[in-house]
Amino acid sequence: KQEVTQIPAALSVPEGENLVLNCSFTDSAIYNLQWFRQDPGKGLTSLLLIQSSQREQTSGRLNASLDKSSGRSTLYIAASQPGDSATYLCAPHSRQLTFGSGTQLTVLP
Amino acid sequence: SQTIHQWPATLVQPVGSPLSLECTVEGTSNPNLYWYRQAAGRGLQLLFYSVGIGQISSEVPQNLSASRPQDRQFILSSKKLLLSDSGFYLCAWSVFREKLFFGSGTQLSVL
């Protein structure tokens, strides 16, 4: 059974900082891994999808990396903004997507 | 473009009452459809998924059921709600092993 851990559980940073969110998973036999963003009381928005054959994927200020053999992924956010405040979840896709509990990010103006 | 509609946004129901949540997808054919639940302070739990009309797979035993009467319609039901059914219910769709797209969710409170 896939288990997903996200560290830290919560993070508060001043605006403009670069930051890294971590995700680890126990079953490395995955097809892909997605990173999602969730605003309070809202659904999830897919940010990036990394296929198992890829090492990283970029979208704007976001960069996600994947080390499938070690069961790790990171989400790098450059030049953080208050609008980035949300909960970020990673979800490796083995038999099904399994979600971590998320990192709650607060970017202070 | 593809869109997903989920309603209602909020729902307050007494214990023992029935439930019906509906989700529809536009702009794609034969999507995989999913129902997730997010309880307060907990992660997302996959409840049901469907790869086609009438094909439902259940991930956890519970008093909920799901149906897919049409290609792009997914319904979550219960005959009698329990207090433990309270939570945030999310419908989602994808094509095979690609990005997962979520609806806006239904906040269900069972009192």
pLDDT digits 0-9 by tens, A49-95: 999 999 999 999 999 999 999 999 999 999 999 999 999 999 999 88
DSSP A97: B
What phi and psi values does residue A84 have, to the nearest 5 degrees?
Answer: -80, -10
Q: Does A32 touch chain B (CB under 8 A)?
A: yes
What pairs with residue B12 in β-bridges? B109
From CA A32, how far away is CA A57, in angstroms rounded? 11
Substitution target from A4, A31, A46, A90 for chain B, most B beta carbons within 10 A: A46
Could you read off the pLDDT of A1-36 as tens digits, one per residue?
A: 899 999 999 999 999 999 999 999 999 999 999 999
Contact residues, chain B, for A96 at CB < 8 Å: 46, 49, 59
Residues 6+ apart with CB under 8 A from B63: B78, B79, B80, B81, B82, B85
pLDDT tens profile B40-79: 777 899 999 999 999 999 988 679 999 999 999 999 999 9
Which of A32, A43, A89 is closest, CB to CB, to B103? A43
CA B82 to chain centre: 17
Q: Which residues of B touch A97 (CB under 8 A)?
A: 46, 100
The pLDDT value given to residue A26: 96
Strands B64-70 and B73-78, how do they pair?
A: antiparallel
